[in-house]
A = this chain, B = another copy of it.
């Protein structure tokens, strides 16, 4: 599980920061990619990565501002052009379906794969299967803007095969029985309970990706105990008035949310083009004074989200 930042700028594209898009790579987990937002030229950024558009399974849209959606029609068309045939689901605020369908209709685009739409206009769970649950809450940004909390199911412990072999359990059907929690008796009379030979459950990961927003309590709730929080940081602390007037957050506000939510790692994105490289460094340092494990993202930066190998702690 990795987050690949395709665009980390705000509002309009700049030479070194494109408008918003993030890929959540779930290649090991489900051989697919989930995208979050899709600003113009997201498909161009993808050309500089190993991402395969046909592997995109879901696209989540935080809000309808142009710098978060104008890349959708092109990406969907190119996915078809490049032989994508599997269905794709788009989750977004009310309006996303009509926007996409009308863009495709006006441009006479023929998409051969099915596109499903899940529109939401209130807080709740928008997707759930055995592996993942995705829920949304509304943020504060002038127009409806949402944050996503992606919760991975716990990974059940695996059979401690080496321990069993040491006890003389032969490979084969007995292993299967033990794995299902059954009990077996060896030739020497030893009774072995499968439940005693299952490794610890590994806690599923939590990834929180927020849309553009002012500081708000829903951000903290979405990010509670997350492994990673992706938060906008359009402005630095000095420009807090500007941030508020534009319905955006500062680096320090993002760090405060991370701290209150007790996340493991804070990744800042949606950085205003007004800041030069040294300003961005300062912006990061300033946030770290509030929440230590903070990093400002740049375009094409990839961040791994490891499983907590030690298992469930609390």
Contact B70 A66 (CB under 8 A): no
Which of A6-14, A152-160, A260-268, A282-290 contacts the other chain?
A6-14
Of all chain B residues, the one with the shortest Cβ separation from A39 is B74
- In the assembled complex, the Cα of A82 lies from the Cα of B273 at a distance in Å of 12
Which of A41-49, A118-126, A249-257 contacts the other chain?
A41-49
Q: How far is the CB of A7 from chain B (nearest CB, A)?
A: 11
For chain A, which range describes its interface: under 10, 10 to 19, 20 to 34, or 35 or more residues? Answer: 35 or more
Q: Which chain B positions have C-beta within 8 A of A108?
A: 64-65, 143
- Given the known inter-chain contacts A12-B78, A47-B13, A78-B12, please indicate yes or no for A98 contacting B106, CB distance below 8 A: yes
Which residues of chain A (35-56) have a CB below 8 Å from chain B? 40-41, 43-44, 47-48
Contact A66 B11 (CB under 8 A): no
A102 within 8 A of B: yes
- In the assembled complex, the Cα of A82 lies from the Cα of B73 at a distance in Å of 24
- In the assembled complex, the Cα of A14 lies from the Cα of B46 at a distance in Å of 10
A24 within 8 A of B: no
Which residues of chain A (92-143) have a CB below 8 Å from chain B? 95, 98-99, 102-104, 106-109, 143
A74: contacting residue among B66, B77, B95, CB under 8 A: B66
A69 within 8 A of B: yes
Contact A107 B77 (CB under 8 A): no
A81 within 8 A of B: yes
Contact B12 A69 (CB under 8 A): no
- In the assembled complex, the Cα of A99 lies from the Cα of B102 at a distance in Å of 8
Contact B47 A14 (CB under 8 A): yes
Q: Which chain B positions have C-beta within 8 A of A78?
A: 12-13
| Contact code string A1-43 (vs B, CB < 8 Å = 1, else 0) | 0000000000111110010000000000000000000001101
Contact A12 B109 (CB under 8 A): no
Contact A71 B40 (CB under 8 A): yes
Which residues of chain A (184-221) have a CB below 8 Å from chain B? none
Instruction: Name A's B-contacting residues (CB within 8 A).
Output: 11-15, 18, 40-41, 43-44, 47-48, 64-66, 69-71, 73-74, 77-78, 81-82, 95, 98-99, 102-104, 106-109, 143
12 contacts between A and B (CB under 8 A): A13-B74, A13-B78, A40-B71, A65-B108, A66-B74, A69-B107, A70-B70, A95-B106, A98-B106, A99-B103, A99-B107, A102-B106
